[in-house]
A and B are shown apart, each in its own frame.
Chain A
């Protein structure tokens, strides 16, 4: 019966079984944090700092710059596709959830799509924190079963001629999609090109933005 509701659906408090405000996520989370602080198990300033770092300092721009550079520098692109770990090390890019990274290049006849069906693995240090839809049961279940129809519903209508390669992140390898460079971007510099590379394009549910 709970399955009838999609996870994350907005729910009227009165429809929560056997509860009231005391079990709202806001109240419960705050009570949990207070309890852990009182017990000395967590430090509030460190909680704040972590949120700040992941929400504001890390984001898809790290990945987007790698993609943009590979669009204008073929030698860099070759290295990125052959050994992303070495490139990240050379560039001083490290952090959470990128112990081993592989970059998969889209081509006119090949489209790559990343999912984690068993949980929600995602290259945090390259893309920032994942959006809710990536973690949804709908995406996790359907990306491996009917990716073409899934992408169409998400606004990406691929020709039947295009092969779809899905990458299920079932080990600690993390995948990044290298989208195709959009037409009309010939004269753009690295920074302008990076602004065309959205997070969703690097997951594989969208193409890079047209200039």
Chain B
């Protein structure tokens, strides 16, 4: 990593510079240590008592400090940090309870470093729309209104929900791309992560040319496709 943070949000690292070789192991096993298995196995029972809404667990990960997000214990270390954070925030663990049990000094816990849940204003959200909630647990919804956009339209992501959790990667903001597909309707994580309603959205797959995202000197013959919730998008201008 370079000295500068890749973006305002610890997780939003797509396209950031300064990373080395991918630690690639062909046909790598999913777990390297038994503790990683235990973290994985615990997560879903913890989530059933904490972050249940779509986007809420991702938002907990995003609120971790750089130190915990890019922690030395890797991906499952990051998950464990988010588990500790959520358990404290939902009142299942006292602050520092795990450290006390381990005989470690207090005040160094994950929650001391993590960002608090931000206040998100409902007035900035797109209007909610009536869509029947299926009987099974799913992010999918049905909308009678078709998308404002159609395949071939030129669009630009502006990301106006103002939410502290959003699915617009920084690297596409303000850049024009072309609609190549329209996915089924989903609830809007910017809203559901904060319990502000489903606000179902068509999901638009937008294709960007590498040269439009990264400028001259970028790799040739590369298209990057990004799925964006309809409310993130406006009609854009064709790139030269």
Contacts and interface: CB of A to CB of B under 8 A. Distances in A.
User: Do A and B associate with each other?
Assistant: yes
Nearest to A109: B221
Interface residues of A, number: 88
A144 interface: yes
Given A55-B37, A170-B228, A144 B23 contact: no
Contacts of A33: 38, 42
B39 A148 contact: no
* Max chain A C-beta neighbours (<10 A), residue from B14, B58, B76, B218: B14
Contacts, number: 259
A149 B168 CA distance: 25
A27 interface: yes
A187 B140 CA distance: 41
B150 interface: no
A130 B30 contact: yes
Q: Is the interface of A mostly helix, strand, loop or mixed?
A: mixed
Among A9, A26, A168, the one with the most B-chain Cβ atoms within 10 Å of its Cβ is A168
B203 A173 contact: yes
A28 B21 contact: no
Interface in B156-209: 167-169, 171, 181, 183-184, 186, 203, 205, 207
Given A7-B70, A173-B203, A168 B169 contact: yes
B22 A29 contact: no
7 contacts: A31-B98, A43-B45, A131-B25, A137-B13, A141-B14, A141-B17, A206-B26
Interface of A: 2-9, 11, 16, 18-19, 22-23, 25-33, 35-36, 39, 41-43, 46-48, 50-51, 54-55, 99-100, 102, 115, 117-120, 128-133, 135-150, 153-155, 160-173, 198-200, 205-206
